[in-house]
A and B are shown apart, each in its own frame.
Chain A
């Protein structure tokens, strides 16, 4: 790993044990099964995938909310041992979390000031510094005039303002990484871009790294450098956002992008190509490539028996597919 990288993850696995009656093991849900990537300082990436593909588990593992079962994770030069409480505590301070549903993420009985004070109290910041930090981060998210907002409760704010409070809270501890789980999916189209531009500006100003997890590539494409496509607990394609959008290689990425409509009147007369079937169970995933039962370009005898390793058909474009051997 080079010095420039903030996170380096190798073959990360997060499995959840299924139990019957609380103690008989029934196998594992392999929510994250061998994920490898590097994230540079000041870089924004997007993880795209369907629900159940493990993208939220990836985020939770990076946040220390879910413990990795196997694999290696190096965060800013420090190796994180997910069974070590001190490592996890340290890790959580370095990562700011922006939740999906701002209303659900903000306690309804606290006003903005108390919401923002809490992480500072928990992390034992001296009392005299707290007020200033709160004001700084509210200024950063443009909730101005600050004094008007400090006394407001979440229900008195609009969806966009609530999400700004969530972003402000994520920035309070001056993290190195912002992890955003579908940050704009609950907001209106006209507000989405505003929040994303705000996050993009903060990312540039502070040279932060950002991970967006989303199923909607079209809204975050202008705010991230690289995109990872996730399918059934694996990262099947990693490349620049531009490359992914213009020249997708993995058959799953191709079908995913084809299914996303642009607002065009011609859509009415057009049926979309959807691969048959559904994503596989993560308890017992299929042999070989996980997309092979639905893949239109399957190579019989290879795709259904052997798991494809990562190939690099173009510089900085990685894909787990036998077609690019």
Chain B
């Protein structure tokens, strides 16, 4: 590290980890790596205990912070039982409790459904109104964040600043450069008629295209007494683009795994191109369907990027690897030798997609495909998906990304606590 970084007028190298920790509260992306204690109020108190707060002061401060993040009444709840949005607000409470001068939030809404993200942003707005701490928010979803900001710092892909200043000034000065660098902008700053990359595709109306996936009254529960997917009936035809939407925990990921035979239903049946996918030999299954996991790290099976993307491919498929990786922004000469775990979140997402897209399966099931993507990654993904769909593939994507749903879906299926919600109007 070169240059000079001061916190409260003191050099950070002088302050050390402890000194910085006393002044800064941090909230990370994934709530499950931030909650230490089993219960809500104990978790809020954890940071205070570590800093040696007096017992009375702690018992005064904990309810105060829980009120700030709207978790009153949940004091004794188990943190793992909270929704993703509540967990993230709890993590925020833990960071806020010791009254840090600086609060850093690293993509805090990335794992949240739209309602959870909106609640978190509302809480941030109220913290901003109090002006009790400087808030540094790192975000891809800028719609709400842009309005809350006093200053915007935009970085390009290599970490160099593009512009810094009050949002209006940055918008006036650099909107073109921001677009060119692939930075997401609030809707008001987007070009009025953005070409929808999938707009030209024929809308597969009902009856056209053969049915490739058939789910009939499918029920599944990790604990049989508590099903997370309940009696779902869903048919998908070749060429269809189905968006599975619904809050965290509504059963989207579980349904997605049932459709490609990674889970076997407790009741009902699934057919994938006429066969039960849970009984297909793996090689046969991989030809018919591809599945991209919500968390890329949980699907990586090799030590190097080039081994990961070539795993189990035929010679013909192998020939597609290089051009695909180039288009995904992960050229093999640059990334091939690297460990999949050492990539950024957005790069990991693109690698996990490449592993599946390279096979061109007839049915593509993607779990949060646009996670952590800047505009450039998003648009190249859409171009690749388009080619694939033109070839008659069927796409089923579980997603929170309203933009993706709007750009891609020909049909929206909403899940709520494992049930299919009444049909929505096609996009």
Q: Do A and B bind each other?
A: no
- B residues in contact (CB < 8 Å) with A: none
B-binding residues in A (CB < 8 A): none
